[in-house]
Amino acid sequence: MSRPALDRRAPSRAGFSLALAAAAVLLCACNPTGGSSRSDLKLTAPSSGSAQSQALPPLAGEPSELIGQGPIKIALIVPLTQASGPSSVGASLRNAAQLAYLESGQSDVSIVVKDDHSSPAGAATAAQAAVNEGAELILGPVFAAGVKEAGRVAKGAGKPVIAFSTDSSAAARGVYLLSFLVEGNVERIIDFAAQRGKKSAAALVPDNEYGALALAQFQQSAANHGMRVVVIEKYKPGQPADAVKRIAAVAGQIDTLFIPDSPEAMGAVARELTAANLDSKHVQILGTSLWNDPRALKLPALQGAWFAAPENAGFNAFAGRYRAKFGSEPSRIATLTYDAVTLAIALSRQQGSQRFTDSSLTNPAGFNGADGVFRFRAEGLNDRALSVLEINDAQPRVISPAPRTLGPASSG
């Protein structure tokens, strides 16, 4: 089948192109450099929303920034400010959107940038202002409570949303999550472990929101792939000792240990694993993409461990162009706004009046973006093509490349 090409000539990247092929838009770009901040972690793992309640109140009628002059208007809602002042993550998201626009060449799109002040009320105010100003599509917000508020406003106006929360409860029909969802992450690593012959697993899970989401998917994926779950042990964050001892007591019955915890928390967990003689020489340790961070990669107990994550090449290329343009490091999630803007521009060129319809956005062939292939499901969640990496000498090494295409779409 022929592939109609969509030219994206950019002054900084001659020949950079984006194709809409058999209905698959090829975006382009972008992976992690170290140094995740506390703010980045909150954006990577689901947040309870307590930070939003302390955020600055929205300002009615405050001015918006405009990127571009095209007649097709889209809105970008990001947390440019928070209770303590300007947000570096919000600024990075905004900059990535500008980079995508600049690299797209001439475009009929203009982007209205709105600050949600890291609050649900601010997200609702920003979404209403965007709708009033004629936005056909809303990109963002980031935090789950804000996504729900912006989605409520947008759905009332019949406008779609592409948001960046990792909390799957924020998804809905017409509210699509472009983020890295823990459910897909866990499914990929459990599927791979089962393919490698792993049959009996234990789970060591922090007693928090992220742990609960990961555990639910772990149990479902283990059942789907015929893996027996021998024991599940939960621990209060920062207090894994007793739970690790209980896992060690059944070590002879398991060949796999799943631990969905954050990089800063894994130091304490790793010390207890070493003391209990639990490492990947004795039992295969599995984690999530949160481990793609120097703080986790350097831990002795995690050498030989496996985790699923986007491959790094695309983000690294994006980060190089970002540094050249803005003189700073991008947030790890900056590729989300880069991809969202690139996708919006591509659809505006290829799909005419159908550019932002549900059928265009939920194209089952998907889109190839900064961190690999992804697609939106009808219910608002996403599927992503992820690689599996093994930690060796404090470095992640790809042992199962990310697929270049996605399998049959599930019904939503």
> Taking the model in full, what pTM does it have?
0.82
- 200: which 2 tokens? 């009996």
Cβ contact 18:116 at 8 Å: no
Helix axes 209-224 and 182-195, enclosed angle (nearest 10) = 40
CA-CA distance, 386 to 310, in Å (whole number)? 5
Degrees, nearest 5: CA angle 32-76-377? 70
Helix axes 88-103 and 334-350, enclosed angle (nearest 10) = 30
Cβ contact 145:46 at 8 Å: no
Q: Which amino acid is at 10?
A: A
pLDDT computed for residue 280 by the predictor: 86
DSSP track, 318-364:
HHHHHHHHHSSPPPTTHHHHHHHHHHHHHHHHHSGGGTTSHHHHT-T
**β-bridge mates for residue 6, sequence order:** 18
Residue 218, C-beta contacts closer than 8 angstroms, at least 6 positions apart: 186, 190, 201, 203, 229, 258, 260
pLDDT computed for residue 26 by the predictor: 37
Helix axes 312-326 and 334-350, enclosed angle (nearest 10) = 90
Residue 407, C-beta contacts closer than 8 angstroms, at least 6 positions apart: none
Segments in 179-240 forming alpha helices (H): 182-195, 209-224
For 231, counting Cβ atoms within 10 Å of its Cβ (0-12 exposed, 13-18 middle, 19+ buried), the class is: middle
- 205: which 2 tokens? 């899970």
Residue spans of the chain under pLDDT 50: 1-60, 412
Question: Cα(first)–Cα(last) distance of the chain, in Å?
Answer: 28
CA-CA distance, 389 to 395, in Å (whole number)? 9
13: which DSSP letter? Answer: B
Q: Which amino acid is at 151?
A: G
Domains annotated for the chain, with CATH where assigned, are 5-180+313-380 (3.40.50.2300), 182-309+388-400 (3.40.50.2300)
Give SS3 for 285. Answer: strand
For residue 63, whether the previous peptide bond is cis, meaning omega lies within 30 degrees of 0, is no
pLDDT computed for residue 63 by the predictor: 63
Q: Cα 281 to the chain's mean position, in Å?
A: 31
Q: Which amino acid is at 169?
A: S
